[in-house]
């Protein structure tokens, strides 16, 4: 256990009820799809003002992530593709939720970035983890080189959000063309 774990900032988990915990993966994906289609535009911009006003669907998605993951309930994630899709969607949902909870910062650089990605923790499958550890210790080791283009860390320099979730069947991180789109998109 390092110094960082002693100074972590736990992000509150939305209230869970049996209905949320008992969702099947398809129902969870439907709730996440609702969030994406409602609050992410075709350019990948997230309407955080509207999301802050009504985040009940996002709360439901995050409450499910807090209770369920491929380690805690492997029977729900029968193959590598379903695990990868869940983890990518979970990361994106948690990053979005973190911004809703903490407020939209002027920028995510320096100490703000360090705090958000390394010190702020989220609950995934009953365990506390930072977004940095989630990305580097859980998602990247699954070995899909396109994962960078599917994760949206809510920073301008990251790939834009997608209004569709990653699919369980064959987990195609957002789109095969995403790397080309990302490399041609100006960053501010």
Residue 145 has pLDDT above 90, yes or no: no
User: Rounded to the nearest 5 degrees, what angle is found at the Cα of 111, between the Cα atoms of 35 and 130?
Assistant: 50
Contacts of residue 15, defined as CB under 8 A and 6 or more positions apart, other chains included, come to: 59, 63
Residue 159: is it exposed, middle or buried by C-beta count within 10 angstroms (0-12/13-18/19+)? buried
Q: What Å distances lie between residue 158 and 44, 73, 127, CA to CA?
A: 11, 30, 26
What is the domain extent for residue 96?
Answer: 8-184
User: Which residues are registered as beta bridge partners of 76?
Assistant: none
Band (pLDDT 50/70/90 cuts) for residue 3 is very low
Task: State residue 1's pLDDT score.
Answer: 45
Residue 180 has pLDDT above 70, yes or no: no
Question: How many residues in total does the chain contain?
Answer: 188
Residue 182 has pLDDT above 80, yes or no: no
Asked if residue 144 belongs to a domain, the reply is yes
Full-model pTM: 0.81
Asked if residue 2 belongs to a domain, the reply is no
Asked if residue 137 belongs to a domain, the reply is yes
Please give the tally of structural domains in the chain.
1
Asked if residue 70 belongs to a domain, the reply is yes
Asked if residue 152 belongs to a domain, the reply is yes
Residue 61: is it exposed, middle or buried by C-beta count within 10 angstroms (0-12/13-18/19+)? buried
Asked if residue 3 belongs to a domain, the reply is no
Task: State residue 113's pLDDT score.
Answer: 81
Residue 35 has pLDDT above 70, yes or no: yes
Asked if residue 49 belongs to a domain, the reply is yes
Residue 146 has pLDDT above 60, yes or no: yes
Asked if residue 1 belongs to a domain, the reply is no
Average pLDDT over residues 63-80: 93
Band (pLDDT 50/70/90 cuts) for residue 10 is confident
Contacts of residue 133, defined as CB under 8 A and 6 or more positions apart, other chains included, come to: none
Residue 75: is it exposed, middle or buried by C-beta count within 10 angstroms (0-12/13-18/19+)? exposed
């Amino acid at each position: 256990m390092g110094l960082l774990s002693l100074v972590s900032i736990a992000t509150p988990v939305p209230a869970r009820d049996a209905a949320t915990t008992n969702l099947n993966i398809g129902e969870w994906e439907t709730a996440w799809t609702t969030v994406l289609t409602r609050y992410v535009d075709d350019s990948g911009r997230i309407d955080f003002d509207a999301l802050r006003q009504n985040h009940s669907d996002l709360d439901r998605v995050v409450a499910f992530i807090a209770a369920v993951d491929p380690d805690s309930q492997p029977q729900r994630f029968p193959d590598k593709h379903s695990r990868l899709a869940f983890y990518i969607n979970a990361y994106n949902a948690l990053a979005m939720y973190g911004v809703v909870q903490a407020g939209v910062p002027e920028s995510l650089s320096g100490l703000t970035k360090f705090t958000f990605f390394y010190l702020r923790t989220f609950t995934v499958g009953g365990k506390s983890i930072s977004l940095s550890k989630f990305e580097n210790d859980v998602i990247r080791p699954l070995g899909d080189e396109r994962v960078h283009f599917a994760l949206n860390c809510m920073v301008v320099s990251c790939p834009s959000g997608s209004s569709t979730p990653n699919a369980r069947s064959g987990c195609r991180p957002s789109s095969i063309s995403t790397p080309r789109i990302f490399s041609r998109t100006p960053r501010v």
